[in-house]
Amino acid sequence: MIDHETSRCEHRSGLGDAPQVTVVIVTYQSEGEIARCLDALRDSGLPLSVVLVDNASTDRTLEEAGDHAQGMRVQIVRNRTNVGFAKAVNAGIALATTGFVLVLNPDCYVQRHTIAKVMEAMSVADHVGMAGCLLLNDDNTEQAGCRRYVPTPWRAMIRVLRLHRLARWHPRLDGFLMNREPLPDRPITVEAISGAFMLLRREALDEIGLLDEGYFMHCEDLDWCMRFKQGGWKVLFVPGAKAVHDRGRSSASHPYRVEWFKHRGMVRFYLKFFRRRYPGVLLWLVVASVWARFSVVVARTALRRTFSESAYLVPAKAIRPESDQRREGST
């Protein structure tokens, strides 16, 4: 439950059939993405209900959402503070009344019939609780993470140490991402999908429960996948349904904060699900390596920013051709 005041507004014009899916979108400084996201949903080919939960954006996110919500069932919830992704998603789900709920990132743009294809795959397969689609980068390549194995501490250590590059010679050194494997020609059961696009069956959601609000952002989707699997529900990946995911745009302005919450989420995930499956010393070694990785990422980001800013401070004379500088000196 969100412990902040919220205000709601709805846009309902020219609506026909009752919605089959409620789409929950959490926004924060998403003015550059939300218009395209809503436009894609309007053209999705399905009657939808949209709940947009805004985490106290200070840009034009809400104005853009209002402009592009015409002709759609869109309910906007305004949080007074940024309560985090998990808590905001849960607030949106609480307003859903349909048999399916789609958790969708604002920088994720569904193709026409994508949602319908995923729903159809879920209805054909037995006991599927959640499903994801094929997420594409802007260059039309498969995005890492839309189908993956659960990143166990062992797999995470392999990834951190870059040992997954040796997997062709030693299968046990394989990582947790599946995008290097051939794309299947039909829906398959996987261990985890991306939180950028998660279509959930309401029955399974009611049984398993909402997102763990102990995560502020990142790793809550993996937590959900683990809990669905533990509860006997399958996680499905549907390669024939596609969406473009322009990930990271809204996070680029706060890289240190994002990395902090990402690594804190990793630690919470490992301790929550693997505390009893790994020896204590090994597990705490993994936790230490997570924070070591955080330090490296922050240092690397700081260096990259420093050099980037330095490029703007170089005097124009220093970057002009040497011949031009010699001519200037001779006058």
Residue-wise pLDDT tens digits, 123-181? 999 999 999 999 999 999 999 889 998 888 777 766 666 655 555 555 554 555 677 78
Instruction: Give the span between the Cα atoms of 271 and 221, in whole angstroms.
Output: 16
pTM for this structure? 0.83
Q: Which of 236, 263, 281 is nearest to 124 (CA)?
A: 236
Cβ-based neighbour number of residue 43 at 10 Å: 11
Question: In terms of Cα–Cα distance, which of 75, 70, 69, 119 is closest to 96?
Answer: 75
Q: What is the pLDDT of residue 249?
A: 59
The residues with which 51 forms a beta bridge, in sequence order, are 24, 75
**CA–CA distance, 132 with 52 (Å, rounded to integer):** 20
Q: Which residue has the higher pLDDT, 252 or 1?
A: 252
Give me the count of residues in the chain: 331
Long-range Cβ contact pairs of 138-144 (< 8 A, separation 24 or more): 138/244, 138/246, 142/179, 142/183, 143/179, 143/194, 143/245, 143/247, 144/177, 144/179
The burial of 187, by beta-carbon neighbours within 10 Å (0-12 exposed, 13-18 middle, 19 or more buried), is given as buried
Confidence (pLDDT) at 329: 46
How far out from the chain centre does Cα 282 lie?
29
End-to-end CA distance of the chain: 73
Closest CA relative to residue 286, chosen from 271, 299, 302: 271
Q: Distance between CA 62 and CA 77 in Å, rounded?
A: 10
CA–CA dist 216, 265 (Å, integer) = 8
Two structure tokens written together for 287? 């936790």
Lowest mean pLDDT among 141-150, 275-284, 302-311: 302-311
Sequence-ordered alpha helix ranges (H) in 69-178:
85-93, 114-124, 153-160
Which is more confident, 297 or 115? 115
What is the distance of C-alpha 74 from the center of its chain? 21
Residue pLDDT, tens place only, 2-29: 544 454 555 554 455 788 999 999 999 9
Rounded to whole angstroms, how far apart are CA atoms 104 and 269? Answer: 22
Task: Tell me what pLDDT residue 14 has.
Answer: 43
Q: Cβ(44)–Cβ(102) under 8 Å?
A: no
